[in-house]
Amino acid sequence: MAIHSLPLLPYAYNALEPVFDTRTMTIHHSRHHQAYVDNLNKALADTPYTPLSVEELFAIIKELPVAVRNNAGGHYNHSLFWTLLSPPTLHYENKRPDYIAGFWKLVNWDVADERYQKARITHLSSRY
Ligand SMILES: [Fe+2]
């Protein structure tokens, strides 16, 4: 049973012209993102992970088969990407799907900040 589905874009395929052309948006959403969703559902079929949401899959990412990890990641990344784009004339409110909001709660921001600070210092010190 397929539980994951392609989210609707919160704007038309041509809404981001001329920055993103209609053809690119159509292919990227209806084919590229759809492929991640289809492959995720295929990879989950007949596994104990079938009923899990993307948020629940991420919580146990280390135990998942590579095909589930890769396609769940692709589905998530694309779902997030669509919500980060906004046609300038539509006053679009940046509302993320629940599972994306839930993902942000899974991130340990103290650890992420520590890693960022270390990377920043390493990067800056390597320039001198
Ligand atoms: Fe893509």
Beta strands of 46-96 (E only): which ranges?
Answer: none
Determine the distance separating the centroid of ligand 1 and the alpha carbon of 124, expressed in angstroms: 31
DSSP state, residue 69:
H
CA distance 125 to 128: 6
For residue 119, pLDDT beyond 90 = no
CA distance 81 to 58: 17
CA distance 16 to 52: 33
Determine the distance separating the centroid of ligand 1 and the alpha carbon of 25, expressed in angstroms: 10
Determine the distance separating the centroid of ligand 1 and the alpha carbon of 10, expressed in angstroms: 17
Fold of 22-125: Helix Hairpins (1.10.287)
| Poorest-pLDDT segment among 22-36, 52-66, 88-102, 110-124 | 88-102
95: confidence class by pLDDT, cuts 50, 70, 90: low
Determine the distance separating the centroid of ligand 1 and the alpha carbon of 78, expressed in angstroms: 6
pLDDT mean over 73-89: 87
Tell me the pLDDT of the chain averaged across its residues.
Answer: 85
Stronger pLDDT, 40 or 99, i.e. the higher one: 40
Give the domain ranges of the chain: 22-125
Residue 35, token pair as written in the block: 């492929």
For the beta carbon of residue 101, count every other beta carbon within 10 angstroms.
Answer: 11
For residue 91, pLDDT beyond 90 = no
